[in-house]
Amino acid sequence: MSGRAKLGVLVSGSGSNLQALLDACARADYPAEVALVVSNVPTAFALERARTAGVAARALDHKTFGSRADFEKALGDALEAAGVEWVCLAGFMRLLGADFLRRFPGRVLNIHPSLLPAFPGLHAQRQALERGVKVAGCTVHFVDPGMDTGPIIAQAAVPVLSGDDEAALSARILAAEHRLYPLAVKLAVTGAVRLENGRAVSSVGPSVDAAGLRNPGEPG
C-alpha cells in the first residue's frame, strides 16, 4: 500500500474517538487519513466533528433500509466508493455481519471500553463496577462477526477508584481510549500488528498502555 492508509470511521454518537483519530491524522507523520465518516444516526454529533475537520461525512440511517443486509451493502458501497481501506468502528452501535466483513478482510477495527474478554457488550463500565474489578480499561481489536470477540491489537488500563460511579469510570476509560485508538490504528495499518491464524501478532512488543495505573507523582 502506498501513501497513507485511507480510513472509514463508523460512528453513532458523540464521536470523541473519531476526534482522536482526526487529530492524529492531522499530523504529517501519521500513517493514515480519514477518507469518510458514516453515521447510522443522522443527528450524531460525530458528523459535525467530521465536517469541522473538512472530512467527507454522511448519514446512512439503518432504519430506512428494508433489511440488515441492505443496510450493510449500502455501507460497504459507500466506503468502497470513498477508497476506504481500513474501517474503524468508533462508538458504532450496530453489529456487522460476515458479508460486510468479507469486503474488508482483516481490516475492520473496534474500540471497546473494557479489558476484553471481560465485559463485552453494552454498559461495559457498569459491568466492571458491578463485578468490583480494581483495574479497568479499553481494548482495540480486529472485528469478527461476534460481539467484541475479535483478536486483540492493544489495551490500556486505568484504575477503578473507590467512590467511582459509572460516569467517573467511563470518563477515565474514555481518556485512555483517545490515546489508545490512534496508537492501535497506527500499529495495524503499518503492519506492526497483523493477523496470523486468527491471532493478532505484534512485531513491536506488547501493545499495552498502563500509564494510567501509575500513582500520581511516580516517574514514568
Binding footprint of ligand GRF on the chain (CB under 6 A):
13-17, 90-91, 111-113, 174, 177
For ligand GRF, the nearest residue by Cβ is 91
Report the alpha-carbon angle 208-209-214, nearest 5.
130
Q: Which residues of 69-99 are buried (b: 16+ CB within 10 A; e: fewer)?
A: eebbeebbebbeebebbbbbbbbbebebeee
Contact 121, 148 (CB under 8 A): yes
Q: Least separation, in Å, of the C-beta of 91 and ligand GRF?
A: 3
Would you say 21 or 200 has its CB closer to ligand GRF? 21
Q: Least separation, in Å, of the C-beta of 44 and ligand GRF?
A: 8
Q: Least separation, in Å, of the C-beta of 56 and ligand GRF?
A: 18
How many whole angstroms separate alpha carbon 21 and alpha carbon 72? 23
Question: Residue 162: which residues within 8 A CB-CB, separation 6 or more?
Answer: none
Is 178 one of the annotated active-site residues of the chain? no
Would you say 67 or 108 has its CB closer to ligand GRF? 108
DSSP 3-state helix, strand, coil percentages of the chain (rounded to 5)? 35, 25, 40
CB atoms within 10 A of CB 204: 9
Would you say 17 or 127 has its CB closer to ligand GRF? 17
Q: Least separation, in Å, of the C-beta of 218 and ligand GRF?
A: 26
Say whether the peptide bond before residue 219 is cis (omega within 30 degrees of 0): no
How many whole angstroms separate alpha carbon 175 and alpha carbon 106? 26
Choosing from 62, 112, 141, 178, the catalytic residue is 112
Would you say 73 or 95 has its CB closer to ligand GRF? 95
Active-site residues: which are they? 112
